[in-house]
Amino acid sequence: MANLGFVGLGTMGGQMVSRLLSKGHSVTGYNRTRSKAQWLIDKGMRWADSPRAVTVAADVTFAMVTNSAALSAIMEGPDGLLAGLTAGKIFSDISTVSPAISRSYAAKVREKGADMLDSPVSGSVITLQEGKLSVMVAGRRESFDRIKPILQDIGPKVTYVGDNGLALVLKIAVNLNLATQMMAFSEGVLLAEKSGIARETAVEVFTHSAVASPMIQYRGPFVLQQPEEAWFDVNMMQKDMLLAMDLGRQLDVPLPTTAVSNEFLTAARGMGLAKLDFACVFDVLAQMSGIRSGGGNK
């Protein structure tokens, strides 16, 4: 049993804490809105009043926040994570943020005598609940070796990538594939539907065909009905697409399908769909095709 901390108890973060508690770990948690964490407190999570209090209480602290700005918000100031880190402690950031910003915080963490890893994950709420989440980790190898068993309690596939920031690069590369796959899936379904094939039939065939990646299998049905709560909304996906395109410019790697898919995310925001799961790019393309979307655009 490990003495853990967790900052950011949203949909995925909260499910991770639930999983860690079920594995017998002690967890101290913090979230901006305490009420959203009450179900975890009821399951045995200890509550802390600030990110600093979490790191003071824990040997290993995890965080999962929305973007680079949110990471800065929990790191800085007298109540921030940095203020509570001391020698020997580890901070493992699960958030998908700018690799450069993550590296800059890793340097600040090491000035405190602690260490920082970037450890983003690939998968969905369903993947996490089924115990199939994949974790990518970057930073000092000795710190990775120390927390690998804990990460395996979050997801069984844990891969060491290399120096700080590289796990984030890999996560961004993975996520650009999610959006481009969803675009191709939407095009195929709409082509079938406008030819006279029922949308439900097209989705059934696609999700059991050669193109049925795990993402298509669990997200494809969203073109029929969006989930009550978005697993990964348009704003979150566009944040990752912009990170990808920024990296592409830095590294001279053209990302044409990423750029096109990103424009459809912008269109979704313009249509008022920003809070829906990013599968609503189907709704954008459906409207352009003269078809009632039925998935998210009611």
Give the CATH number for residue 28.
3.40.50.720
Is 296 inside any structural domain? no
Are 50 and 149 in a shared domain? yes
pTM exceeds 0.85, yes or no: yes
Q: Are residues 217 and 277 in the same domain?
A: yes
Residue 293 lies in a domain: no
Question: Model confidence at 129, in pLDDT bands (50, 70, 90)?
Answer: confident
pLDDT at 132: 80
Q: What is the mean pLDDT of residues 113-142?
A: 91
Does residue 115 lie within any of the structural domains? yes
Residue 126 is predicted with a pLDDT of 79
Separation of CA 7 from chain center: 14
Mean pLDDT across the chain, nearest whole number? 94
Written as one string, the DSSP assignment of 102-167 is HHHHHHHHHHTT-EEEE--EE--HHHHHTT--EEEEES-HHHHHHHHHHHHHH-SEEEEEESTTHH
Of 164, 191, 218, the one marking the end of a domain is 164
Q: Give the model's pLDDT for residue 11.
A: 86
220 and 143, same domain (yes or no)? no
**Do residues 141 and 192 share a domain?**
no
Res. 20: pLDDT tops 60: yes
- Same-domain pairing of 84 and 221: no
Residues 147 and 54 placed together within one structural domain of the fold: yes
Does some domain include residue 294? no
Q: Please indicate, yes or no, if residue 79 is contained in any of the structural domains.
A: yes
6/59 Cα distance (integer angstroms): 11
Asked whether the predicted pLDDT for residue 296 surpasses 70, the reply is no
Q: What are phi and psi of 89, to 5 degrees?
A: -80, 155
The answer on 227 and 160 residing in a single domain is no
173 and 160 in a single domain? The answer is: no
pLDDT at 293: 67
Quick one: 113 and 261 in the same domain? no
Does 74 score more than 60 pLDDT? yes
Q: 236: domain range? A: 169-288
Q: Give how many domains the chain has, as a whole number.
A: 2
108 in the same domain as 232? no
Q: Give the three-state DSSP class for 45.
A: coil
Task: Specify whether 145 is located in the same domain as 47.
Answer: yes
Q: Which of 42-56, 153-167, 213-227, 233-247 has the lowest mean pLDDT?
A: 213-227
Domain CATH number, residue 251: 1.10.1040.10
C-alpha span between 133 and 288 (Å, rounded): 35
Q: Residue 297: inside a domain, yes or no? A: no
CA distance 150 to 164: 19
- Tokens read off for 160: 């060491």
Q: Are residues 153 and 179 in the same domain?
A: no
pLDDT band at 297 (very low <50, low <70, confident <90, very high): very low
